[in-house]
Amino acid sequence: MSEHPSPVTEGRTGGRRGAAAVLALGVAAALAFMPAFPDRRSTPEPAPDAASTPDVAGSTVTVLGDGSTSDTGPQPGQPTAVRLKPGEVPPQFIIFSFDAPTEGDDHLFSRARTTAKANGAEVTFFLRGIDLLPATKRWQYQPPQHDVGTAAVPFPTDAQVRATLQQLGRAWLDGDEIADGFIGQFCGPNGARGWSTADWQSEIGQGYSMVNFWKTGTGFTDLPPLPFDYQTELAGGRAPCLEGRQNLLPAEKDAGWRYDASSPGDAQHWPTQTDGIWDFPLQRIPDASGTHEVLSTDQTPQTYLNAFERVYYGSRAPLVVDTDLAPGHPSRLQETEATMKDLCHRDGVRCISFRQLADWLDAQDPAVLNRLRALTPLTAPNWTTVVGP
């Protein structure tokens, strides 16, 4: 990385400046409905177990804002992005992402986190603002083009929000990425598909507010702060129903984000950029029979193996494996766990987050990336030609 003047650092610094402007919009919208002090009329919540508190021993902790987040230093477990050497075969990247990480009674969030850790994977969790907004406080959310306090998915209980907060801290300390899955999950003409850039800016800003000020929003003042600065860490997002990307991209750029994962059904190709933002779509991959293509979300291990093998022995384009952690469907996670245990231990495979993929791509020679993008998934090239000087 030394031969390149830290594109990653510049991107994150720009993200802090851009996010500050978007955050101001969210604070103005969300805090207008928050009480001046946490609501103490309800029964006090019990203190968390010591074992559930993220361990940041030895770190210099700077508590931020209302005590909801903190700066504990660089995130643990992050690899250094290195430029490919001439003739070097690219790593086979697999990006495991998880939507709707609410820690409910089925404990899907914690299962996904611990499975990733056990298999040496850093993954992306698309946190929705609603994951930290209890049903009792739903009136704090002002969704674009919808009534205050409404959403297309259920609001969590107080207990679920508390458990989710504990898992978020642990996930970040494991090296996982906390990205934005937005808030109300509205789709269609009055939702993501029809939202203007200003609507998306409101959604992003309120999402920042719900994470940065969760103690004010929930009244759970007995819990420790998250061990990271969400405003600095947030690098990208995925829109509900994979809709509205045209108007979303300017809002993401204004927030200083580095990637968008909202494109539906692209082929397994090396990623491109749109106006400086990396495009990380869900992919069209061969199904278990190998005769049809399906979207790379909530599939069987055989389907993911088919998709893996055609690029592992071909173009080495990244493979995206997405799983919805919405309650009631543990079999979805079980299929992903089997895939992770099978593939992450193979030679040349690196199971990483979307932000880590953006870091790696930023470190590469643009000419090499252009040659990689020209490959079809099944193309097994002469790597000395593709990854040349």
Give domain status of residue 301, yes or no.
yes
Give domain status of residue 66, yes or no.
no
CATH number of domain containing 192: 3.20.20.370
Give domain status of residue 389, yes or no.
no
- The number of domains in the chain is 1
Structure tokens at 90: 């690219």
| CA distances, 35 to each of 66, 101, 201, 213, 215 (Å) | 13, 26, 23, 12, 11
How high is the mean pLDDT of the chain?
87
Ramachandran bin of 272, using left for φ above 0, alpha for ψ from -120 to 50, beta for the remaining angles? beta
Give domain status of residue 99, yes or no.
yes
Mean pLDDT value across residues 90-116: 97
Q: Which residues contact 347 (CB under 8 A, 6 or more apart)?
A: none
Instruction: Name the pLDDT band for 2 (thresholds 50, 70, 90).
Output: very low
Q: Which residue bears the tokens 């409910």?
A: 104
Give domain status of residue 77, yes or no.
no
pLDDT for the residue 47? 36
Give domain status of residue 86, yes or no.
no
Q: Which of these ranges, 27-31, 124-128, 322-326, 330-334, has the smallest mean pLDDT? A: 27-31
Residue 332 has pLDDT above 70, yes or no: yes
Q: What is the pLDDT of residues 224-236, one digit of tens each?
A: 999 999 999 999 9
**What is the span of the domain harbouring residue 248?**
7-37+91-381
Give domain status of residue 320, yes or no.
yes
pLDDT for the residue 287? 87
Q: Which of these ranges, 134-143, 151-160, 282-291, has the smallest mean pLDDT? A: 282-291
What CA–CA distance (Å, rounded) separates 48 from 51?
A: 8
Q: Which residue bears the tokens 């990425």?
A: 177
Instruction: Name the pLDDT band for 12 (thresholds 50, 70, 90).
Output: very low
pLDDT for the residue 20? 53
Give domain status of residue 52, yes or no.
no
Q: What's the pTM?
A: 0.87
Rounded to a whole number of angstroms, the CA Rg of the chain reads: 20
